[in-house]
């Protein structure tokens, strides 16, 4: 991956493509590369939907190789939702295929002057950007169906749904899974709106005729990959819990801990959790002929995804993730898996972030637009987004906008982005991450839940203020580095608990690229990425006052522990003092 594909969508006479060397971005991949390009090339004060913003799509450092779990792709830009820098990532086949095609990144620049919609087709023979107006306002499923009919079934597709075309601030970007379903989404921050602002509906990737990327030291790479897989398979989370029940295995665990946000973050436990738990979900999927075990990309050995069938045994959606089940479930008082699965399908097809959408519906329910627990009303609200009605456009702009429009005080956002499925009062480490990450409230930026609740990588009391700053700091550094590799974030469970597994990852990177990285070098990379992101945000107008949770988390105690978020502001300001 030694080249960058730049596509100027606003060039005179129509879109123009140019392939350049990696240059100053050599050694970067995934989030490290997207954040480097955005930080260096995008004016921090520009409007996120303007021609000055850029959408950067980058596979990881190990994507396109035989390294297990290396299929995550990063998407970066200035976020329409937060106004700061953004990296969202997704699984699916796109990262592996783009890596094998030899591209370190695709950069969408400029903005078309007309109203044409385009598709980008990338093969071993080159790049074409062609009008694709027949795809206008189609859902992601129908879009992929049409593209497969035209380009065959050996492709991977990156696409947006109607929400992206309407440039709604919660719009996602879909990537197809091995079965060519648009189920893996770079969901957070409105990256789909930026792709829509560039006039690009879909990117078709076809690596026919291309081989796997060859490591610099094939034997060392093969041996390290073997140790890597062994480490993942022997850890109880990555080798047992996630493969058996998927990410939603966490529902009962987090609920028992009193940290499962319910009724728009009013309480920490949901009475209906057993009906929507990972165990119930897996049982339902298996009984209907679906699957509780499925890899979102080839080379996945954890296989925490699944296939959800409806009551008639027909495919409905991929297995809804833990955050999706929570967002459309407990957060909205809904305890029916079939309704949650339908909401997941509608979100994916419309191209909207499931976390932001569920949080937004919770705020809308607080505003009186629907009753908590009314699944059909929630489904109807998502359909409003797909239609682009005035109400739908408000909802599709996220929880913060919806709260302002309808006068709701309890809006669980940081930097304009909604909180995921852990109450920061009952898991204070994740509260530190929500408050301070450059990305807006985001559990994946520094997953303190692993240590606070699962006791992975140590044991820090989730209800205490002690140790949370250091925990979040170290995890944010590690996560930024992992996001650069293309590795699934779930590998962190094994990496945190098993030093030999962490070493296997470093050995793979070194063997692939001919490097001599140490653990300290990996940490240095994470710090560099975070420094670039914070620098961009500072230039965009962010300061320490934005690294805060909403006041009600400090003032309203959450049951059952009756605790508030009480980590002092001056301690939050120390997170990045390394």
Residue 236 placed within a domain: yes
pLDDT at 1 over 80: no
- Provide the pLDDT for residue 315: 96
Q: Count the neighbouring beta carbons within 10 Å of the beta carbon of residue 520.
A: 8
Percent share of the chain, pLDDT over 70? 100
- Provide the pLDDT for residue 452: 96
Q: Count the neighbouring beta carbons within 10 Å of the beta carbon of residue 350.
A: 29
pLDDT at 513 over 90: yes
Contacts of 395 (CB under 8 A, 6+ apart): 357, 360, 361, 364, 381, 382, 384, 385, 402
Same domain, 261 and 398: yes
Same domain, 222 and 266: no
Same domain, 287 and 223: no
- Provide the pLDDT for residue 205: 98
Residue 58 placed within a domain: yes
- Tell me the C-alpha to C-alpha distance, in Å, between residue 205 and each of 31, 71, 183, 397: 20, 14, 16, 30
- Sign of the Cα torsion 340, 345, 348, 350 reads negative
Residue 417 placed within a domain: no
Same domain, 342 and 325: yes
- Provide the pLDDT for residue 241: 86
Which 8-state DSSP code applies to residue 241?
A: I
pTM metric for this prediction: 0.97
- Provide the pLDDT for residue 296: 84
- Provide the pLDDT for residue 304: 85
Strand order in the sheet with 126-131: 126-131, 118-123, 200-206, 155-159, 173-175, 184-186
Strand 103-109 to strand 55-59: parallel, antiparallel, or no bridges (unpaired)? antiparallel
Same domain, 536 and 563: yes
- CATH number of the CATH domain containing 518: 1.10.599.10
Average pLDDT, the chain: 96
Residue 165 placed within a domain: yes
Rounded CA gap, 261 and 258, in Å? Answer: 8
Residue 50 placed within a domain: yes
Three-state DSSP state, 77: strand
Same domain, 123 and 187: yes
Strand order in the sheet with 291-294: 291-294, 305-309, 315-318
pLDDT bin (cut points 50, 70, 90) of residue 497 is very high
Question: Once rounded to an integer, what is the mean pLDDT over residues 553-573?
Answer: 97
Rounded CA gap, 224 and 218, in Å? Answer: 10
Same domain, 193 and 220: no
pLDDT bin (cut points 50, 70, 90) of residue 284 is very high
Question: Once rounded to an integer, what is the mean pLDDT over residues 363-380?
Answer: 98
pLDDT at 243 over 80: yes
- Sign of the Cα torsion 176, 181, 186, 190 reads positive
The number of distinct structural domains making up the chain is: 3
- CATH number of the CATH domain containing 130: 3.60.9.10
pLDDT bin (cut points 50, 70, 90) of residue 395 is very high
Q: pLDDT tens, 76-85?
A: 999 999 999 9
- Provide the pLDDT for residue 246: 87
Selection from 59, 68, 96, 93 nearest residue 211 by Cα: 96
- CATH number of the CATH domain containing 255: 1.10.569.10
354-366 and 337-350 helices cross at what angle (nearest 10)? 120
Same domain, 164 and 49: yes
pLDDT at 547 over 80: yes
Task: Concatenate the DSSP letters of all residues of 457-476 into one string.
Answer: TS---TTSSTTHHHHHHHHH
Residue 418 placed within a domain: no
Same domain, 253 and 240: no
pLDDT at 4 over 80: yes
Residue 103 placed within a domain: yes
- Provide the pLDDT for residue 361: 98
Q: pLDDT tens, 78-132?
A: 999 999 999 999 999 999 999 999 999 999 999 999 999 999 999 999 999 999 9
Rounded to the nearest angstrom, the gap between the alpha carbon of residue 398 and the centroid of all alpha carbons in its chain is: 16
Same domain, 338 and 474: no
Same domain, 261 and 346: yes
Q: pLDDT tens, 301-359?
A: 888 889 999 999 999 999 999 999 999 999 999 999 999 999 999 999 999 999 999 99
Same domain, 391 and 498: no
Is the CB of residue 248 less than 8 Å from the CB of residue 322?
A: yes
Question: Once rounded to an integer, what is the mean pLDDT over residues 546-575?
Answer: 97
- Tell me the C-alpha to C-alpha distance, in Å, between residue 54 and each of 7, 11, 16, 34, 135: 10, 14, 15, 10, 23
Structural domain including 459 reads 215-245+424-578
Q: pLDDT tens, 208-233?
A: 999 999 999 999 999 999 999 999 99
Rounded CA gap, 56 and 505, in Å? Answer: 25
Residue 414 placed within a domain: no
Q: Token digits for 103?
A: 């591209």
Q: Token digits for 392?
A: 């739908």
Helices (H) and strands (E) in the chain, counts: 25, 17
Question: Once rounded to an integer, what is the mean pLDDT over residues 16-36?
Answer: 96
Q: Token digits for 304?
A: 């925490």
């Amino acid at each position: 991956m030694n080249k960058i594909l730049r596509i100027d969508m606003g060039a005179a006479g129509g879109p123009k493509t140019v392939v350049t060397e990696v240059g100053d971005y050599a050694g970067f991949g995934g989030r490290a590369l997207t954040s480097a390009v955005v930080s260096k090339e995008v004016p921090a004060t520009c409007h996120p939907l303007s021609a000055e913003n850029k959408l950067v799509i980058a596979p990881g450092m190990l994507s396109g190789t035989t390294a297990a779990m290396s299929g995550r792709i990063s998407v970066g830009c200035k976020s329409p939702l937060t106004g700061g820098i953004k990296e969202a990532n997704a699984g699916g086949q796109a990262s592996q295929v783009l890596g094998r095609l030899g591209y370190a990144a695709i950069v969408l620049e400029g903005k078309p002057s007309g109203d044409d919609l385009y598709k980008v087709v990338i093969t071993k023979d080159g790049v074409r950007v062609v009008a694709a107006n027949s795809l206008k306002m189609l859902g992601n499923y129908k879009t992929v169906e049409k593209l497969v009919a035209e380009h065959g079934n050996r492709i991977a597709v990156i696409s947006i749904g109607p929400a992206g075309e309407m440039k709604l601030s919660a719009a996602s970007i879909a990537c197809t899974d091995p079965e060519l379903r648009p189920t893996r989404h770079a969901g957070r921050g409105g990256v789909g709106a930026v792709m829509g602002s560039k006039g690009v509906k879909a990117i078709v990737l076809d690596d026919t005729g291309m081989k796997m990327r060859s490591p610099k030291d094939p034997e060392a790479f093969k041996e390290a990959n073997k140790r890597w897989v062994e480490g993942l398979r022997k850890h109880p989370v990555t080798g047992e819990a996630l493969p058996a029940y998927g990410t939603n295995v966490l529902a009962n665990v987090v609920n028992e801990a009193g940290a499962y946000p319910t009724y728009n973050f009013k309480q920490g436990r949901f009475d209906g959790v057993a009906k929507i738990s990972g165990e119930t979900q897996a049982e339902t999927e298996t009984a209907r002929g679906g699957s509780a075990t499925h890899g979102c990309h080839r080379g996945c050995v954890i296989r925490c995804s699944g296939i959800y069938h409806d009551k008639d045994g027909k495919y409905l959606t991929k297995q809804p993730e833990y955050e999706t089940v929570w967002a459309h479930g407990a957060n909205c008082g809904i305890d029916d898996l079939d309704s949650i699965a339908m909401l997941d399908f509608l979100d994916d097809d419309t191209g909207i972030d499931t976390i932001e959408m569920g949080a937004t519906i919770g705020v809308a329910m607080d505003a009186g637009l629907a009753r908590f627990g009314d699944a059909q009303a929630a489904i109807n609200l998502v359909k409003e987004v797909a239609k682009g009605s005035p109400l739908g456009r408000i909802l599709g702009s996220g929880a913060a906008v919806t709260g302002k429009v309808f006068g709701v005080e309890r809006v669980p956002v940081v930097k304009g982005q909604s909180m995921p499925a852990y109450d920061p009062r009952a898991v204070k480490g994740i509260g530190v991450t929500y408050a301070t990450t450059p990305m807006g409230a985001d559990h994946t930026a520094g997953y303190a839940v692993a240590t606070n609740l699962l006791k992975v990588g140590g044991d820090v009391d989730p209800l205490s203020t002690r140790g949370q700053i250091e925990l979040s700091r170290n995890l944010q550094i590690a996560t930024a580095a992992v996001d650069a590799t293309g590795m699934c974030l779930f590998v962190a469970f094994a990496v945190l608990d098993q030093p030999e597994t962490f070493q296997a990852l470093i050995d793979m990177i070194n063997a692939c690229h001919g490097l001599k990285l140490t653990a300290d070098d990996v940490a240095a990379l994470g710090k560099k990425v975070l420094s670039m992101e914070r620098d961009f945000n500072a230039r965009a107008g962010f300061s320490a006052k934005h690294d805060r949770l909403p006041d009600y988390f400090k003032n309203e105690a959450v049951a059952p522990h009756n605790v508030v978020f009480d980590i002092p502001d001056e301690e939050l300001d120390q997170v990045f003092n390394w």
